[in-house]
Amino acid sequence: MRVYRKLVPFEYPRLERHLLRLDAEDRARRFSGSVGDAAVTAHCRRLDWLRAVVVGCFDDGALRGAAELWLDPSPAGRAELAITVERPWQGHGIGSALLGRALLVAGNRSARSLSMLCLLDNRRMQHLARKFGGRLVLAADQAEADLVVPYPTQLSLWEEAAGEGLGFVGSWVEQFSLAPWAVGAWGGSGTRAPRI
């Protein structure tokens, strides 16, 4: 079962585990260069959760994709975004879903533009930016995409709230159905609890 929702601050270890599972190529693309496990851990532990929003894609309870959104508190309303999806889950629409949700969150927090920076060889990210109307500027070994963020409306606020509610319910149902103690609770013996 695939669930999309925002992470809460105490879930930073889930983001850390996700980033540590990235292969060397995807990790270098995420951090614009080769970084070790200690740097990934430090990044996750120093996230400013007052300015950062992390939207995650959970598959069978594990975080498999993340959109890290940093909001600028200045009146310019600029936001920055980095998206990661683990290799086996790439090419299944997760990046598009994460970018769409990140744009919704950014707009609802009054951001006016969203910037995505990636290496020139990261064709997937460049394609994703173009898909959402981003204008790419190439410089040296990097490409920067600027996306226009929609203004918040009552509908967009409702859409974010409803999506979060569904995400948390989905996570709860998934955790309950995967919990070892739930096996006996359904009257079975030695079988996994049914998915709801």
**Strongest mean pLDDT among 15-19, 112-116, 154-158:** 15-19
Nearest to 51 by CA among 31, 79, 75: 79
Strand partners, 148: 113
pLDDT by residue (tens digit) across 144-195? 899 989 888 999 999 998 988 887 787 777 666 655 544 444 444 444 433 4
Residue 87 DSSP one-character state: G
69 with 104: CB under 8 angstroms? no
pTM, to two decimals: 0.82
The domains located in the chain, with CATH, are 2-160 (3.40.630.30)
HSE, CB side, 13 Å, CA atoms: give it for residue 95.
24
pLDDT by residue (tens digit) across 52-64? 999 999 998 899 9
pLDDT of residue 119: 85
Residue 152 DSSP one-character state: P
> What six digits make up the tokens of 150?
């929609």
